[in-house]
A = this chain, B = another copy of it.
Amino acid sequence: MVQKPAPDSARRSERSRRAIYDAALALVGEVGYPKTTIEGIAARAGVGKQTIYRWWNSKADVLLEAFLDLSEQAARAAAQPGQDPQDGIPDTGDLAADLKLVLRATVDELLDPRFEAPSRALAAEGLVDEQLGAEFVGKLLEPQLQLYVRRLRSAQDQGAVRPEVDPRIALELFVAPLAQRWLQRTGPISHAYTDTLVDYALYGLAPR
């Protein structure tokens, strides 16, 4: 059976959608969130303002989807052969190895210039604009953190994490240091650094 090609209008829509994502991310990285407008995004993407309003209600919505799309691309790029990136954090039974793998991919994403400026601009605005911050934390950051919660719960079932540990707090021991170094530029980030965070968090600073 021959696969039916996508109709022209669907292909045009997909092209417009991606042009709008790219324009929104580039613009917010260049001029910041407050000065980014639907008009500016439309002009840069080469589409009419109405095209954007047909699909989204606000610039926050456009940016949210653009970031979700960027994260999905990064997840697909980092996925192991045969692994569905939607499955979240791999579970090979070796917790340290699985966490290190995902955090190394996160380091690569944070160092990707397509990601850097727009993420930083949006994070900055989220610190002062409480509503925007809540939306992005709720829809973008927290769902990613919940993947760690799931992996840590599974590790508890396997006896690799103490049963009394709260996974939602535990994940912060390796996720938050990476976030702070990247956001506030308090230190360099690398695969060796996130590997170290995982080892310290799992085995503790005190002698065993």
Contacts and interface: CB of A to CB of B under 8 A. Distances in A.
Interface of A: 32, 95, 120-121, 123-128, 130, 133-134, 137, 141-142, 145, 152, 159-162, 165-166, 168-170, 172-173, 175-177, 179-181, 183-187, 193, 196-197, 200-208
A127 B123 contact: yes
A74 to B, nearest CB: 20
A-side interface mostly? helix
A202 to B, nearest CB: 5
Contacts of A184: 123, 126-127, 133, 137, 141, 179
With a 10 A CB-CB cut-off, give which of A121, A123, A175, A183 has the most chain B CB atoms.
A183
Contact of A207 (B162, B181, B187, B200): B162
A25 to B, nearest CB: 15
B137 A128 contact: no
Contacts of A162: 205-207
Listed from nearest, the 9 A-B pairs whose CB atoms lie closest are A204-B204, A172-B177, A176-B176, A124-B127, A176-B177, A176-B180, A124-B124, A203-B204, A202-B206
B160 A173 contact: no
22 contacts: A120-B127, A120-B128, A127-B127, A127-B184, A133-B185, A137-B185, A141-B184, A165-B205, A166-B196, A169-B193, A169-B200, A170-B205, A173-B177, A173-B197, A175-B180, A176-B176, A176-B181, A202-B205, A202-B206, A203-B204, A203-B206, A204-B208
